[in-house]
Structure 1
Amino acid sequence: MTSTPSLASQDDALSADPAAIAQQFVAARLAARNTPDYPGVIPQSMAESYAIQDAAIGLFPDEVVGWKVGGVPPEQQPKLGIHRLAGAIFARNVWPAPGDTVVPLPEIEGGFAAVEAEFIARIGADADPAKTDWTIEDAMGVVDKVFIGVELAGSPLSTINDLGSAVVASDFGNNGGLMIGPEVENWRERLDRIEVETVINGASVGTGGSQSLAGGAIESVRFLLEHCARWGRPLTAGTLVSTGAVTGVHRVHAGDEAVCIFKGIAELHCSVVRAEAQ
């Protein structure tokens, strides 16, 4: 009688090598092909996750121009030891979003796609690479502009969020792209008062603002300055920081139409399309 392989023996058949896992994710993204299961042994720590992402950054044929910052659910924070995570954003996946234009957002069929209304901070000067401890005031001092925007949360792995934040961080933080809208004038005085609503296919699916994020949007910048300095990737002038989903993470599929309304500033319109190989 043949016995069913144990979980341990199944894991042994999978690769735990960060480069091998990274190669699978990068190949799937470039081919616009889903990965039905996690392509290796699931990381159990953020160190393992960022080792995979680090390898993937080296394999992806494009320049990192920004970072998405996402929240870690409270129930996962004690084990992972962090409250936020970061993922690389590449130049080819940054899309200007004038208020009167519908921007196509590519969904990998069978993968994960979601629309997230976000505030986008731009770093105005190179951060000191030796500085690994930052205050909110310090972080505000290196931000020169804030824009409204929409993050396309996207991955070849449909269950990426279900598998936890360590998995999310291993695949570029579940980032598929970033729409950049108009600048927020006088952002230092008004950022926390801007009301945001996301509408999908004509129905409101979420409301919020900077204060929906633990510590606010600038806390995401502060976290990222520390994280990237400790990772050996200090932030440089012009780097974009997508600070977090202020109305929620809203799953979408090809054919869906979404509008993110930043009251008093602009509406950002997007249409979800089927992704094509790059």
Structure 2
Amino acid sequence: MTMTAEAVLEAAGALLAARRDNRPLDALLPAAMPADKADAYAIQAEVARGIGPVTAWKVGASAPDAEPSSAPIHADTLFFDTGTLPAAMFRVIGIEAEIVYRLKSDLPARDEPWTRDEVLDAVGSIHPAFEICDTRFAAYGSQGPLASLADQGNHGALIVGPATADWRRIDPVHQPLTLDIDGERRIDTVGGNKAGDPIRLLAWLANVGARPFGGLHAGDTVTTGSCTGTIFIEPGSRAVADFPGLGRIELTVA
């Protein structure tokens, strides 16, 4: 049964209040708990409207043939060429190394699906990135995947590294990657994204995920899922992700 509009507003209001007051929720009230993805996206969209304009997106999938999921991101948690963020921004600090695409042209919502080639033509640059995963609930992951999806897909911050304009030579499925935390090699892999091809995710986002917001727009920044899994780190930790041929990004959460 689809949530009522009142229940959606109640859930979104609770999540927005948790952000505003820095008071985590033990759980959403039973009547405001999403029962399916449609409910979760309805709450997510209402939260996004409460935060402000959408400037970026996250999109991912659990397997190469799995249905993707997405969440909008806003300017207050989007950072470019930033080497340090305050730990006080976050309740938990779950770091993921990811690949970001930045659009140079619009992909507005339309009846005819955008093709893979059209989506590729809209890309202006590719970047190494970190996403910090966080939660508005008292315990990370305690409320299940639908509540996490409603809660901006556990988004905390997106930190975008330097652009690679010659991005078509990059094969993200076979891209090498290392991730060091405080000088310790934690990840050494190729590809690493369990969703497989991130262009599939980008096309799905243009055609489905971003449709309630009018599609994608020039300047939008899209991160396409973790290449490393989520690694929880302590305040003061320094992370370095190196994508040979694509770029390197460093971050201290101090």
Shorter chain as normaliser: what TM range? 0.7 to 0.9
Normalising by structure 2, we get a TM-score of: 0.85
Worse-matched range after superposition: 127-136 or 140-149? 127-136
Mapping of residues 141-220 of structure 1, within 5 Å:
141-157=121-137, 159-161=139-141, 163-192=143-172, 193-210=174-191, 212-220=193-201
In structure 2, relative to structure 1, the CA distance for the partners of 1:222 and 1:162 (3 Å cut) is farther
Residue 42 of structure 1 is aligned with which of 33, 55, 58? 33
Mapping of residues 6-21 of structure 1, within 5 Å:
17-21=7-11
In structure 2, relative to structure 1, the CA distance for the partners of 1:249 and 1:105 (3 Å cut) is same
Residue 23 of structure 1 is matched in structure 2 by 13
Residue 225 of structure 1 is matched in structure 2 by 206
Which secondary structure does the structure 2 equivalent of 1:212 belong to? coil
Which secondary structure does the structure 1 equivalent of 2:114 belong to? coil
Which secondary structure does the structure 2 equivalent of 1:231 belong to? helix
Question: Which residue identity lines up with residue 42 of structure 1 in the other structure?
Answer: M
Residues 1:249 and 2:230 are matched in the alignment: yes
Give how far 1:114 is off: 0.9
Residue 58 of structure 1 is matched in structure 2 by 49
Q: Distance in 2 between matches of 1:46 and 1:222?
A: 19
Q: Distance in 2 between matches of 1:245 and 1:95?
A: 17
Unaligned segments of structure 2, at least 5 residues: none
Which secondary structure does the structure 1 equivalent of 2:107 belong to? coil
1:61-101: CA deviations, max 9, x gaps? x3210111132479xx9xxxx62211111111111226xx3
Residue 10 of structure 1 is matched in structure 2 by none
Q: Distance in 2 between matches of 1:241 and 1:165?
A: 21
In structure 2, relative to structure 1, the CA distance for the partners of 1:33 and 1:254 (3 Å cut) is farther
Q: Distance in 2 between matches of 1:166 and 1:182?
A: 33
Question: Which residue identity lines up with residue 209 of structure 2 in the other structure?
Answer: C
Which secondary structure does the structure 2 equivalent of 1:134 belong to? coil
Which secondary structure does the structure 1 equivalent of 2:248 belong to? strand
Unaligned segments of structure 1, at least 5 residues: 1-14, 274-278
In structure 2, relative to structure 1, the CA distance for the partners of 1:190 and 1:232 (3 Å cut) is closer
Count of equivalent residues? 248
Q: Distance in 1 between matches of 2:185 and 2:89?
A: 21
Residues 1:90 and 2:80 are matched in the alignment: no
Contact 1:85/1:165 (<8 A) preserved: no
Structure label with greater radius of gyration: 1
1:144-200: CA deviations, max 9, x gaps? 211111111122225454544322220111111111111124211123343212222
Residue 122 of structure 1 is matched in structure 2 by 102
Q: Distance in 2 between matches of 1:196 and 1:52?
A: 35
Contact 2:134/2:140 (<8 A) preserved: no
Which secondary structure does the structure 1 equivalent of 2:119 belong to? helix
Give how far 1:130 is off: 1.2
